[in-house]
């Protein structure tokens, strides 16, 4: 059997879950399907944003000026008000998404992605693992060589750790899967205008590979030692976590959070 046939398969969302909270990751491995499927307001908002972005880029260029972001968001907007902090929060996030998406998408009136919401898979020899990554938008670059490309992600959750993971994962994945690095890796937060742009190079790729080796090394341990690591209580991650009550149970020694 070849090395590739035996390789561990790691999907991008698994790494996200693991790095957000190893304890929750481990708990979810054995949880009922309902607990695994439990989502928070950011995930619901991200789902709606992804649908709007996808609908925008699949609209023919000549019709994009008439593309209605409020109408499209309405189509995909959740009715799970209870998942938000309050009814006001629910409505305010909806409006802020419309306000944030408008300038981000309208500046793309004539962009046609090479890849749009596709999952790709590649074997990375240095990790001895198959990585699976969902690409939202990959665009050709207007400057440089014809094969230059830009990887872009529209996000709701501006968690710095997740942004770092995305940048490192994308660099490593693209280098293996496409044979060359993207000229830019762009992260565009919809709820703020604080966009992050990384220009990966062979030097930064080395750091990305080191980061990914460390992240991947945690995977098999997640249900044992690494799986005991919890977020500091009071973190934003804990506040929207379905296991919060259980984590805070009085008398449970493990409620002493391990700082990450
Ligand atoms: S409440 Fe916090 S520490 Fe507990 S599982 Fe959720 S994110 Fe992790």
Distances (CA, A) of 190 to 105, 114, 139, 247: 10, 22, 19, 31
Same domain flag for 237 and 212? no
Residues with beta carbon inside 6 Å of ligand 1?
21, 23-24, 230-231, 237-238, 241, 243-244, 247
Same domain flag for 99 and 173? no
Closest by CA to 144, choosing from 179, 173, 115, 184, is 184
In which domain, by residue range, is 77 found? 39-106
| Residues 124-133: tens digit of each pLDDT | 999 999 999 9
Length of the chain: 260
Q: Is 72 exposed, middle or buried (0-12, 13-18, 19+ CB in 10 A)?
A: buried
- pLDDT score for 245: 80
Same domain flag for 62 and 141? no
**Ligand 1 pocket test, candidate residues 39, 40, 231, most atoms within 8 A of CB:** 231
DSSP, collapsed to helix, strand or coil, labels residue 113 as coil
The mean pLDDT value for 165-171 works out to: 98
In a domain, 51, yes or no: yes
Same domain flag for 126 and 158? yes
Q: What is the pTM of this model?
A: 0.88
In a domain, 34, yes or no: no
Q: How far does the centroid of ligand 1 lie from the alpha carbon of residue 256, in Å?
A: 11
- pLDDT score for 154: 98
Q: For residue 117, is pLDDT > 80?
A: yes
Last residue of one domain, picked from the residues 87, 106, 125: 106
Cβ pair 117, 136 in contact under 8 A: yes
Q: How far does the centroid of ligand 1 lie from the alpha carbon of residue 19, in Å?
A: 12
Q: How far does the centroid of ligand 1 lie from the alpha carbon of residue 71, in Å?
A: 36
Same domain flag for 234 and 212? no
**Mean pLDDT, the chain, integer:** 88
Same domain flag for 182 and 209? yes
**Ligand 1 pocket test, candidate residues 234, 236, 243, most atoms within 8 A of CB:** 243
In a domain, 215, yes or no: yes
- pLDDT score for 233: 62
DSSP, collapsed to helix, strand or coil, labels residue 129 as strand
Same domain flag for 52 and 69? yes
- pLDDT score for 226: 61
In a domain, 33, yes or no: no
DSSP secondary structure letter of residue 235: S
Take atom 7 of ligand 1 and give the residue whose Cα is closest.
Answer: 238
In a domain, 260, yes or no: no
Same domain flag for 120 and 75? no
Closest by CA to 158, choosing from 49, 26, 35, is 49
Report the Cα 25 to chain-centroid distance in Å.
15
Same domain flag for 101 and 126? no
For the record, the structure tokens of 91 come out as 């409505």
Last residue of one domain, picked from the residues 51, 80, 106: 106
Q: For residue 260, is pLDDT > 50?
A: no
Q: How far does the centroid of ligand 1 lie from the alpha carbon of residue 157, in Å?
A: 17
In a domain, 174, yes or no: yes
Binning pLDDT at 50, 70 and 90, where does residue 225 land? low
Residue 179 to residue 113: CA distance in whole angstroms: 19
What ligand 1 atom has the least distance to the C-alpha of 244? 1
Same domain flag for 122 and 210? yes
What ligand 1 atom has the least distance to the C-alpha of 24? 5
Binning pLDDT at 50, 70 and 90, where does residue 259 land? very low
Binning pLDDT at 50, 70 and 90, where does residue 43 land? very high
In a domain, 57, yes or no: yes
Same domain flag for 57 and 184? no
Identity of the highest mean pLDDT range in 22-31, 38-47, 138-147, 242-251:
38-47
Last residue of one domain, picked from the residues 83, 106, 129: 106
- pLDDT score for 148: 93
Take atom 5 of ligand 1 and give the residue whose Cα is closest.
Answer: 24
What's the total number of domains in the chain? 3
Take atom 2 of ligand 1 and give the residue whose Cα is closest.
Answer: 238
Same domain flag for 121 and 153? yes
């Amino acid at each position: 059997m070849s090395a590739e046939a035996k390789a561990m398969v790691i999907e991008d969302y698994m790494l996200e879950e693991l790095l957000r909270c190893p304890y929750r990751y481990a708990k979810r491995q054995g949880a009922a399907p309902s607990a695994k499927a439990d989502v928070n307001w950011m995930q619901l908002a991200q789902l709606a944003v992804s649908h709007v972005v996808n609908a925008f880029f699949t609209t023919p260029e000549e019709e994009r000026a008439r593309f209605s972001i409020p109408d499209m968001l309405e189509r995909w907007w959740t009715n799970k008000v209870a998942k938000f902090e309050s009814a006001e929060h629910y409505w305010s996030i909806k409006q802020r998404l419309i306000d944030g998406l408008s300038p981000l998408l309208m500046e793309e009136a004539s962009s046609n992605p090479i890849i749009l919401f596709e999952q790709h898979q590649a074997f990375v020899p240095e990790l001895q693992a198959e990585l699976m990554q969902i690409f939202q938008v990959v665009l050709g670059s207007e400057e440089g060589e014809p094969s230059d490309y830009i990887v872009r992600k529209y996000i709701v959750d501006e968690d710095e750790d997740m942004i770092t993971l995305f940048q490192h994962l994308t660099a490593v994945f693209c280098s293996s899967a496409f044979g060359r690095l993207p000229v830019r890796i762009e992260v565009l937060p919809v709820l703020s205008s604080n966009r992050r742009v990384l220009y990966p190079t062979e030097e930064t790729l080395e750091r990305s590979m080191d980061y990914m080796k460390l992240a991947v090394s945690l995977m098999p341990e997640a249900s044992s030692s690494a799986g005991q690591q919890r977020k500091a209580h009071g973190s934003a991650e804990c506040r929207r976590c379905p296991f919060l009550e259980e984590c805070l149970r009085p008398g449970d020694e493990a409620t002493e959070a391990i700082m990450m």
